[in-house]
Structure 1
Amino acid sequence: MALVPQLESHGSNRQLEGNPSGQAIRQSRQPTTLQGLLRFAMEATKAEDAPHDAEFQPMDDERKKFLEDALKSMTIDVVEVLQNQIRTLQKVNRVRADDDVSQYEEALEKILEYVDHIDIANDFHKIGGCVVLHPCLQCPHPKIRAGVCDLLAVLCQNNPYCQQIILDHEFVPKLLNIIENDEDTQVVVKALYALSGRLVFLDYIPTLIQLMSTERSPSHEHVLGLLVSLVEENPTAVAECKNSKYNLKETLQKYISVIRNKEEYLEEEQYCKRLLHLLFSGV
């Protein structure tokens, strides 16, 4: 319970000095609640209040400029920031595998800070951002390839506009080529992450199935995970995967026989069994 300060008092009555009658004069009752204390304080300071209304004057030019500069320093022009990063990435085709690529990594990271917002992702394309993505995918330095795959994934996340742009500009075949041929595991993982967005790329299911027929690599786990995600959400994908021309059932069974009971491949085995259940349990 809040405590109310007690005002010094020696009783409710006092003798007023110089009062010839000697009669007691009653003092105002002391406040006993917070509301009463507030009222008491307002009454006590009333004489100190300004005797007239406050006067407002127009802001002089110097103060106005100071305020405008302060507001500008607190405001970020996102489009300008993106344009600066795009200009940096336009030089990525000069990069060699052993170059310092920190400035390009920073540019990609700076773009990523903003494009998770759908409107800004769309603006990124409209100001020419997608032009630099193809050169980044072809960059000999793996950090740049991985970074741009990460960016593609974020651009497409729940964004139909950017998903269509990625399809129209044939990024999907390039990502699949990375999955199939890139020697850097991190780049492959990021490419799979980019494809795992809600892209409509059922035409590329045959390529994913074909990848499962090749010698096992670390990317196979992610390919399997992507196939599971596709068939769980799309009856058309189920029908495509069940097409007998792909021999997917036999491919999965053979894959399981190679990795069975090996702890490091446990998740891959679970993916295979999940696919067999989803696709062929009723066959």
Structure 2
Amino acid sequence: MAEGRGNRPHPQNLQGLLRLAVEASSASEGNPPPEPMSEERQQWLRSVLADMCQGGMDEVTQMKECLSVLRSEGGGGEGEGDGGEKEAALDLLCELCENMDNARDLMSLGGLEVCVGACLGAQGAGLRCRGAGLLAVCCQNHPEVQLHALALGALPTLLTLADTDPSTMVKVKALYAVSCLVREQEAGVRDFLSHDGFSVLMRGMQAETGSSGAKEEGREGAKEEDRLRTKSAFLLQSLLTSHPEHRDTLVSMGMVQQLVSLLRPPRCPFHEHVLGALCCLVNGFPRGMAACRDPALHLEELLNDRARQLKGKEECQEELEFCEQLLRSCFCPLDPEDNGMDR
């Protein structure tokens, strides 16, 4: 990718572009991991795309050629030659579909069917990861595309990946796609509930480094596990904020006890969202408050200890506010009308 634009051979078609992308990636990164494009690779792709557009290839034509690559036989496994071109095609589609009109065009071209039917079930983690990423980009804040993806059965497939995929990076990307399918989309929330999505989020928050059997190891593996826990907790908090009517179900399935168990030391960054979810479960909801007051949980002691640790740390202000809100709501109740969150 360090090769200047003037020295780079001009690709004659999109297949040539994808080969260049694979060669450049291989030269600079060895075997690229199944993760989003680096900023350097994005900039390189944009410059080559500019060359292609100057050559008269419009974006719809580029998407059609990418889909042709993805529909071709073979190349679905790790290390297979054509697999690199398919990953490059998905990278390019992600770049193009940042434009909402292109996302709609991709849907019209049958691109979501290819993504759900071929990419999410591919042998190679790189294809599964990028396929989930493409669905996320296309569906984010795009109701028409969301509904089409839901009709294709994308959500249960993504939940399965987020729950059981051997690659933590695939789990993280699949969970991101799930959030893009359920955000401000009632049909997505219903699908999420019918496939026990809350249990998937709980298992994501309980993930421990190395527990997934993924190839990622050491510091990078721990970072991905942290991302999985954080995204799971954030999505739970977000869903409870927008859909408080599901609190009774969650309290009945023992969610309060599970969340409190996650707060045990040592403190982790995702604890902020766990505390936020607990606040949503007790806000004006007596069953949630009663569950938090269970003496076996020792929650009052835990919250007091955590509040003392966080005081004076500006970067932890929101987490501290959640602790204080839970203490006021559950253990120092005010007027019955003043049990809500004050934020």
TM-score class, shorter: 0.5 to 0.7
Where structure 2 has 5 or more consecutive residues not aligned to the other structure, the ranges are: 1-52, 209-224, 287-343
> What is the aligned counterpart of 2:256 among 249, 255, 273?
249
CA distance in 1, matches of 2:63, 2:203: 41
> What is the aligned counterpart of 2:59 among 78, 89, 94?
78
> What is the aligned counterpart of 2:100 among 106, 118, 125?
118
Structure 1 stretch displaced more, 110-119 or 193-202:
193-202
- Counterpart amino acid of residue 278 in structure 1: C
Contact 1:179–1:192 (Cα < 8 Å) also in 2: yes
CA distance in 2, matches of 1:153, 1:77: 23
Please name the residue that 1:262 is paired with. 266
Structure 1 position 252, deviation (Å)? 1.0
Please name the residue that 1:63 is paired with. none
Please name the residue that 1:29 is paired with. none
CA distance in 2, matches of 1:110, 1:213: 32
Structure 1 position 91, deviation (Å)? 2.4
Change (3 A) 1:73 1:252: closer
CA distance in 1, matches of 2:73, 2:137: 20
Please name the residue that 1:164 is paired with. 147
> What is the aligned counterpart of 2:233 among 207, 224, 230?
224
- Counterpart amino acid of residue 276 in structure 1: L
**SS of 1:95 mapped into structure 2:** coil
**1:117-136 to 2 correspondences below 5 Å:** 117-133=99-115, 134-136=117-119
Q: Does 1:277 align with 2:286?
A: no
**SS of 2:158 mapped into structure 1:** helix
- Counterpart amino acid of residue 112 in structure 1: C
Instruction: Output the aligned Cα RMSD.
Output: 2.1
Structure 1 position 281, deviation (Å)? 3.9
- Counterpart amino acid of residue 159 in structure 1: H
Structure that is richer in helix per residue? 2
CA distance in 2, matches of 1:274, 1:76: 48
Alignment length, in residue pairs? 204
**SS of 2:141 mapped into structure 1:** coil
Where structure 1 has 5 or more consecutive residues not aligned to the other structure, the ranges are: 1-71
Change (3 A) 1:196 1:213: closer
Structure 1 position 74, deviation (Å)? 5.5
Structure 1 position 228, deviation (Å)? 1.1
- Counterpart amino acid of residue 207 in structure 2: R
**1:33-44 to 2 correspondences below 5 Å:** none
CA distance in 2, matches of 1:213, 1:180: 7
- Counterpart amino acid of residue 189 in structure 2: L
TM-score relative to the length of structure 2: 0.55
Larger Rg: 1
CA distance in 1, matches of 2:58, 2:79: 34
TM-score relative to the length of structure 1: 0.66
**1:233-248 to 2 correspondences below 5 Å:** 234=242, 237-243=243-249, 244-248=251-255
Please name the residue that 1:202 is paired with. 189
